[in-house]
Amino acid sequence: MQEAESRTEFEAELRQQLAQQAAAHSDHLVDALRAQRVKLEAEFEKRLIVGLQAERERMIEEISAVINRVDAVEAAVDGQLCSAVILLFIDIGDVSSSPPFDIIWSVMVVWRITGIIIKTVLCCVVYDS
């Protein structure tokens, strides 16, 4: 009878030790997984920031190229516009009379404002993203 009680007591202690080991192992796994999650989240955030910065730089380069093209078109149109307005007034009026430069100036100002608006919109796209 004492042997049966001893055996029961031994089994109870064994179960308790196994339960404690299982709990300790479970806690260790939770801690290890938590640490791994933190590490992976930090790595993901770092990669995300690097990727976003690279994408932003690429976008800025593309917008700069577009602005440069707009500047080139603007310069070409400026020259063509002046020539066209001057030729228009020469065709309409007396060859000896000079075209009214206030009209030429007004047309050029409108053209410049349009270019500034386009550039502003392009820059807003870059800085809003």
pLDDT of residue 88: 60
Q: Is the pLDDT of residue 54 over 80?
A: yes
What's the N-to-C CA distance of the chain in angstroms?
81
**pLDDT tens across 16-31, in order?**
999 999 999 999 999 9
Each domain of the chain, given as residue ranges in start order, spans 2-128
pLDDT of residue 118: 72
pLDDT of residue 71: 77
**pLDDT tens across 75-103, in order?**
776 666 666 666 665 555 554 555 566 66
**How far apart are the C-alpha atoms of 97 and 115, rounded to whole Å?**
31
CA 41 to chain centre: 20
Nearest to 75 by CA among 105, 44, 111, 39: 111
Rounded to 10 degrees, the C-alpha dihedral 29/31/34/39 comes to: -100
pLDDT of residue 69: 82
Q: How many CA atoms lie within 13 A of 85 on its CB side?
A: 16
